[in-house]
Copies of this chain bind each other. A is one copy, B any other.
């Protein structure tokens, strides 16, 4: 998996600071996560193909996380989209988008599906043969979900040298071997799978947690993920603001990362009050050492 940041700032778009939006590359797909204003500009700028995006996840209905969506969906119509698009978002977004299509007399000519999120418990919202997406209920001023993306384990790899020592294993049997099954001879005797195959590369996982107050409840949900993107709107010096607005500090994000034993932490959703964003990293680093900051155009290989 690869995470590409399109925007990672809070509140209002500026030409050097786009609001929340990112794409996660998993298999051949790009999952679009949040869609702040100007998101489609950033997609073009960083040369992500619109056509690879089928699933769009919106964490919550504050403008800096979705005002770029309606324009993007309109552009898809203009460029002749035919493949379906699925949007996973809190209830309310469908009404907003469809009202704008009605009043602008926009006929969407591709299949568009809204999956309205209303639960306050983690919920499996998408499962393909390559990955699954589960919500992470967050704590913000408005109903909000993070998203946990888990790759499915790939097939085991044939250990071809080992397999060739057994002439009775014909190629038709490879399919089951890759799926972890033992080989059973005609006489009922068994060659264990572990002798014939090698384990696949480990399945990766990614958790997106923005926007949220400090919420230790999420720790068991994101335990051990390979990459955690956690919002850090404020520094600890402004903790009272974080509490008031239900956001997190960089230190709090690091505490979540440390308690969940994640492999890497990326901070984002910075308030524009801080000219020096390296302060977010240095504050988090005191708690958790594998930490980086998001930045427009940055890619994190998971």
Query: A124 to chain B: which residues have CB within 8 Å?
Result: none
Distance in Å from the Cβ of A210 to the closest Cβ of chain B? 16
Q: Which of A37-45, A149-157, A279-287 contacts B (4 or more CB under 8 A)?
A: A37-45
Is A52's beta carbon under 8 Å from chain B?
no
Query: A37 to chain B: which residues have CB within 8 Å?
Result: 37-38, 40-41, 68, 71
Query: A44 to chain B: which residues have CB within 8 Å?
Result: 14-15
Beta-carbon nearest neighbor of A12 in chain B: B75
Known: A95-B103, A105-B142. A41 touches B63 (CB 8 A): no
Beta-carbon nearest neighbor of A19 in chain B: B71
A103 and B99 form a contact (CB under 8 A): no
CA distance A147 to B93 in the complex (A): 33
Q: Closest 4 CB pairs between A and B?
A: A92-B103, A12-B75, A37-B71, A67-B71
| Contact flags A81-122 to B (C-beta < 8 A → 1, else 0) | 000000000001101100110011110000000000000000
Interface residues of A (CB under 8 A from B): 11-15, 37-38, 40-42, 44-45, 61-63, 67-68, 70-71, 74-75, 78-79, 92-93, 95-96, 99-100, 103-106, 141-142
Distance in Å from the Cβ of A85 to the closest Cβ of chain B? 16
Query: A104 to chain B: which residues have CB within 8 Å?
Result: 61-63, 142
Number of copies: 2
Distance in Å from the Cβ of A233 to the closest Cβ of chain B? 13
Q: Which of B38, B70, B96, B141 contacts A105 (CB 8 A)?
A: B141
Query: A92 to chain B: which residues have CB within 8 Å?
Result: 103
CA distance A273 to B61 in the complex (A): 35
A12 and B78 form a contact (CB under 8 A): yes
A63 and B74 form a contact (CB under 8 A): yes
Q: Which of B61, B78, B79 contacts A103 (CB 8 A)?
A: B61
* Seed contacts A11-B78, A37-B40, A67-B74; 10 additional CB < 8 Å A-B pairs: A12-B79, A13-B71, A14-B41, A15-B41, A37-B37, A37-B68, A61-B104, A63-B100, A96-B99, A96-B100
Distance in Å from the Cβ of A94 to the closest Cβ of chain B? 10
CA distance A93 to B105 in the complex (A): 13
CA distance A67 to B79 in the complex (A): 18
Chain A to chain B contacts (Cβ below 8 Å), 30 pairs? A11-B78, A12-B75, A12-B78, A13-B40, A13-B41, A14-B44, A14-B45, A15-B42, A15-B45, A37-B38, A37-B40, A37-B41, A37-B68, A37-B71, A38-B38, A61-B103, A62-B104, A63-B70, A63-B71, A63-B104, A67-B67, A67-B70, A67-B71, A95-B99, A95-B103, A96-B99, A96-B103, A104-B142, A105-B141, A105-B142
Query: A14 to chain B: which residues have CB within 8 Å?
Result: 41, 44-45
